[in-house]
Amino acid sequence: MKKLSSYLIPFLSCLIIIFSGYNPPVVNAEEMAKQEKEVIVVYKNENGKEDIVEESKKVEYEFKTVPAISVVATEDDLKKLESNSNIEYIEENIPFSIAETGPVKVLQSAQIASTGETQWNINATNSQESWNEGYTGDGVKVAVLDTGVANHNELNITGGVSTVDYTNSWQDDNGHGTHVSGIIAAQPDIASVNGLDITGVAPDADLYAVKVLDSSGSGNLQDILQGLDWAIANGMDIINLSLGSSEYSQLFEQMINDAYEKGILIVAASGNDGLENSVHYPAKFSDVIAVSSVNESLKISDFSSTGNEVDFSAPGENIISTFTQGNYAFQSGTSQATPHVTGMLALLKEKYPNLTNSELKTLLRRNTKDLGVAGQDPYYGYGLIYYKSNGSGTTNPSVTYKTHVQNYGWLGAVSDGELSGTVGQALQIEAIQISLENAPFTGGISYKTHVQDYGWLESVSDGNVSGTTGKSKQAEAIQVSLNGEMANHYDVYYRVHSELFGWLGWAKNGESAGTEGLSTQLEAIEIVLTEKGGESPGLTDKPFITKPSVVYSTHIETFGWLGYSVNGAMSGTTGKAKRLEAIKIDITNAPYSGDITYSAHVQDYGWLNPVTTGAVSGTTGQGKRLEAIKIALNGGLADYFDVYYRVHVQDYGWLGWAKNGEPAGTQGLAKRMEAIQIVLVKKDGEAPGSRHMPFIKDPSVAAG
């Protein structure tokens, strides 16, 4: 009987449908081809852009920061665009929604003074410690892409935009965006709950209301990307995304990556699925900081999505914040956890304004409490965000170093910016040793030296010798860097005193300090540790000087301009009886001010007026030979370098090397120049070859 009924029920259901006159709508292929839909089209070039406009029924938005247009188009239109070689790809307008869970408990103004709830989330993040140090997020631009922000006594909105299609106002008609904004930047001393001041994590941050979701907390890819486009174009420092979708968007990821490359921090909610490996987009993107939620016991919230993409956790349950109509409300969700991280980043951004977004993200790891298993995990990421002051129980590390100096051997160890080596004695450093003391974090210090005749040696670490002893080889440059957790919390600065150049600028974190290619000895060093992102101990310009290059080209009979030659290479021809007609000379990688000046002696014209830096000296198209040249350095370059040059002359071959403005070639002999070589040498260094007879002149010709 049970088996029979299992057949009868669907059969009877079909009869009911048939005899009730039910006629399901039929959409034929022609009608489907004409149905309109919203899509976003990414183009490769201007032709693609024009094709999108031409093939679409309506253009809704043209993006400012990526080559994309949001349009309304039919299926026929989209087929044409999909087959267009000027189109990169087309994306559906996928849905998004806010990332909160559970009912909203709104507190009317009469309840505000009597409720017993406390602002546990601020205590849990230790934000007050930052305020006590004077950091409140002042001047940091934070865009909240959400349902908008309502007018509220606690909130100061600097600006904003609406991208939804039913209003141009960024006013919040849901409450979610206002709640999120209050967690970031509610003002102090406005209202209290049972005597506790309602204040955001970064109360002085500049809030920007970007309304991308509607009154139900729902939205679509187009509106969110428009909001993201606005935030990028208007130079936001941080973007808060307390929203998500399970669907991937290539353009969304591209725009997130573009924002990150422009230095913007993006923070997003992991989602409220309550499942493992369920992090939503955009939190799932690698350039986004993904945030999970914890409760008052600092345990992962039951609703929180988790996965390997989670970077940090923050309070997300029973969070009181601002709401619509001047009220306050309790809400829960990873939506509420996310703005805590945004606010913490605003505090750190104000404190360390010179740090990049990548460095701030790394620094945030220091400002955490590790929850769950040690290290990063799929539930809490690197831990609960927790502001740590400069003196929060950590020791101050010290850098200790010593140098092996010509005639003296190893000098005694010094530390933290003291001079090691000699100044004014013309004695070379030959080797160094560097180590850390009292390091509060794991990791160490690595370093290497550039040594005469050897070049850069392999990196060593933590007290080992870099350089040579007993070989009379001068060290010429150094590189020093921190590693491990020390690199996340400190910068290492160092500078060198170099023969000829004196003290160079401060180098940082693995940059080169000293000289290369100039045979110039190091004579002293100084090394300092600073807190990550702190100010440098002095000027940072020109910590490293490389030998400048001289580049030059010649215009040759029948050949025209030849490609550029560099640093002593021949430019021109030999053995082909071709005259050299004009020259161009330039300096690259110049470590000092100044340039190069030169003039040519031309058939029938004599010496031309000097020209400089890449200009033409000589003639082209007139059939006139060059007979001689003069080349000189000026400015700071002339103080530290000599320029040598020689020419290949008809019947004579290569003449001797001329120097610093001396003539090279012939005069009054009607001999063509055929090739040149030019080289820079350290001031008063050896000539590159014989200086015998660089210039030959008919004795009867007056001096030129």
CB 387 within 8 A of CB 517: no
What's CA 336's distance to the chain center, in Å? 28
Written as one letter, the residue type at 130 is S
CATH 3.30.70.80 domain position(s) in the chain: 33-93
pLDDT in tens, 411-434: 999 999 999 999 999 999 999 999
From the candidates 70, 152, 176, 450, give the one annotated as an active-site residue: 176
Q: What residues does 208 pair with on adjacent strands?
A: 143, 159
Distance CA 327, CA 325 (A): 5
From the candidates 146, 172, 173, 642, give the one annotated as an active-site residue: 146
Active site residue 146: yes
At residue 395, the pLDDT reads 58
pLDDT in tens, 349-383: 999 898 889 889 888 988 999 898 877 899 999 99
Supply 231's token pair.
């935030």
C-beta pairs of 646-652 under 8 Å, 24+ apart in sequence: 646/676, 646/677, 646/689, 646/694, 647/673, 647/674, 647/675, 647/676, 647/694, 648/570, 648/572, 648/574, 648/673, 648/674, 648/675, 648/676, 649/673, 649/674, 649/696, 650/577, 650/674, 652/696
Supply 68's token pair.
């994309």
pLDDT in tens, 384-421: 999 988 644 445 789 999 999 999 999 999 999 999 99
Distance CA 227, CA 96 (A): 13
Distance CA 642, CA 639 (A): 8
3 state SS of 477: strand
Q: Scanning the structure block, which residue is given the tokens 């039919």?
A: 74
3-state secondary structure 199-213: CCCCCCCEEEEEECC
Return the number of other C-beta atoms located less than 10 Å from residue 333's C-beta: 26
Written as one letter, the residue type at 90 is I
- Which of 459, 432, 455, 429 lies closest to 444, judged by CA? 459
At residue 5, the pLDDT reads 39
From the candidates 70, 335, 466, 599, give the one annotated as an active-site residue: 335
CB 171 within 8 A of CB 105: no
Written as one letter, the residue type at 478 is I
At residue 634, the pLDDT reads 94
Active site residue 595: no
Active site residue 176: yes
Q: How far is CA 601 from CA 60, 557, 631, 667, in A?
A: 66, 16, 12, 8
Distance CA 350, CA 343 (A): 11
**Model pTM score:** 0.58
- CATH code of the region 104-385: 3.40.50.200
- CATH code of the region 33-93: 3.30.70.80
Residues of the chain with pLDDT under 70: 1-33, 99-102, 108-118, 192-196, 390-395, 701-704
Q: For strand 507-508 and strand 460-461, is the pairing parallel, antiparallel, or unpaired?
A: unpaired
- Which of 690, 657, 358 lies closest to 532, judged by CA? 358
- Which of 415, 376, 398, 401 lies closest to 490, judged by CA? 398
Q: Mark out the alpha helices in 405-484 (DSSP H runs).
A: none
Q: What residues does 526 pair with on adjacent strands?
A: 495
| H or E element in which residue 2 lies | helix 2-19
CATH 3.40.50.200 domain position(s) in the chain: 104-385
At residue 24, the pLDDT reads 47
